[in-house]
Amino acid sequence: MGNYTIAVLPGDGIGPEVTDEAIRILDAVASRFGHSFTYQKRLVGVAAIEAEGDAISDASLEVCQRSDAILFGAVGGLPSYDGSHKVKPEQALFKLRKGLQFFANLRPVKPLNSLLSASPIKAEVLRGADLVVVRELTGGLYYGHLEPPVPGKPSEIRQTEQGKSAIDTLLYSEAEIERILRVAFEAARDRKKKVTSVDKANVLSSSVLWRQVANRVAADYPDVTFEHMLVDACAMHLIRKPTNFDVIVTENLFGDILTDEASMLAGSMGMLPSASLGTHETAHGRLGLYEPIHGSAPDIAGQGKANPIAAILSAAMLLQYSLGLKSEAAAIEAAVEQVIQAGYRTEDLREEETKVLKTQEMGQKIAAVLAQ
Ligand code: NAD
Ligand code: IPM
Ligand code: MN
């Protein structure tokens, strides 16, 4: 039995819809296991820009820093805040990730057996797939060459004599590469003991350095099988034979793109959770930021069509990684599996002979299983 404080940042579009369901599940866990969760809800994204002048205020950032864990929905996607707007809702993510030094983003991909037919990939290719992408989250193209690195800044469009030009810089230090590689190897030791380091070393200098550091770190883990793979080939192999992978470790943008692709192995963007971790300690463990990998999905927002499972599984990761509540996390995963197995789906996973539920109904079904 424990008391925990969770900062909750629902955000834009379907963010609040799916976050409400994650909270419903945390409440169900609290009553079943006798815990108490105090939620500190704060504005983030468009609502925060309009009310507080920033995508996330410093006061909210402090609430996050003082919490035991952070649950995040999604930001962005409103036409009034497109790429040309001065303050972008997405900056909330950069402020959180960089500000709280969440350099390791874990994105597990484990297609449920009862969902294999919902994926566009053949069931026989998917069966047994169980991988995690360890995405570097505070460096690379997202942050550029300014010291201290400022997201957005190096990619500003400039007027030159030849017309407009823009630049993004892909910078990694040895220390940044080494710490993310170590996260990957440690994760592999608890799994199938294989690491695939993904880069573009045939073109990029940052990838050549990445390989050198990766080789050095790999030597410390002789019990783990290690390979390098070029990112374009990886995009292909992920679909060709996903069961060949265990832990994939890669730079920020490659990890972003590969995980949207990998979500199709699990059937939908609405199925993939994530945990972002750093070194910040709390009374209960390590501070972490937990969010689905998907965005605010403006095309389906407000219609009850959003799949809340990615958010719910992110809450399970929160319990496991930041609060050390492993059985509680496992109970959520089992409840999700049971509900899917029973043929309940949201719109994104609609198939013949399934029962399609609204976002809230899906949350209620999973909560009901947890309450049994
Ligand atoms: P998106 O992930 O929001 O949506 C991509 C597609 O997947 C859409 O068709 C959407 O309907 C579907 N989808 C996503 N989540 C779903 C769910 N839970 N259930 C059912 N279907 C789901 O990506 P996008 O449309 O390219 O981006 C929209 C906005 O979201 C952009 O502003 C982007 O910057 C932002 N974004 C934010 C985050 C985040 O906050 N972490 C992540 C990704 C994108
Ligand atoms: C994600 C998102 C973000 C990213 C965007 C919204 C900045 O796509 O969390 O995957 O690229 O990191
Ligand atoms: Mn993304």
- Predicted-complex ipTM score: 0.99
78: alpha, beta or left, given left = phi > 0 and alpha = psi -120 to 50? Answer: beta
Dump the DSSP string for 343-364: TEE-GGG--TT-EE--HHHHHH
What pLDDT is stored for residue 168 in this prediction? 84
List beta partners, residue 345: 356
Per-residue pLDDT band at 138 (split at 50, 70, 90): very high
* Helix, coil or strand: residue 304: coil
The model scores a pTM over 0.95: yes
Per-residue pLDDT band at 152 (split at 50, 70, 90): low
| Residue 256 known to be catalytic | yes
Taking the C-alpha atoms of residue 12 and residue 291, their distance in angstroms, rounded to an integer, is 13
Crossing angle (nearest 10°) for helices 309-321 and 15-33:
50
Is residue 16 lining ligand 1, measured as CB closer than 6 Å?
Answer: no
Is residue 359 lining ligand 1, measured as CB closer than 6 Å?
Answer: no
Count the Cβ atoms, other than its own, within 10 Å of residue 182. Answer: 16
| Residue 221 known to be catalytic | no
Is residue 266 lining ligand 1, measured as CB closer than 6 Å?
Answer: no
**Nearest CA, atom 25, ligand 1:** 297
Q: What is the dihedral of CA 307, 142, 132, 187, to 10 degrees?
A: -130
pLDDT at 102 over 90: yes
pLDDT at 226 over 80: yes
Taking the C-alpha atoms of residue 74 and residue 64, their distance in angstroms, rounded to an integer, is 16
CATH class of the domain comprising 1-106+270-372:
alpha beta
Distance of CA 92 from the midpoint of ligand 3 (Å): 14
What pLDDT is stored for residue 160 in this prediction? 80
| Residue 4 known to be catalytic | no
The answer to whether 27 is a known ligand-binding residue is: no
Mean pLDDT of the chain: 94
- Ligand 2: nearest atom to the Cα of 256: 10
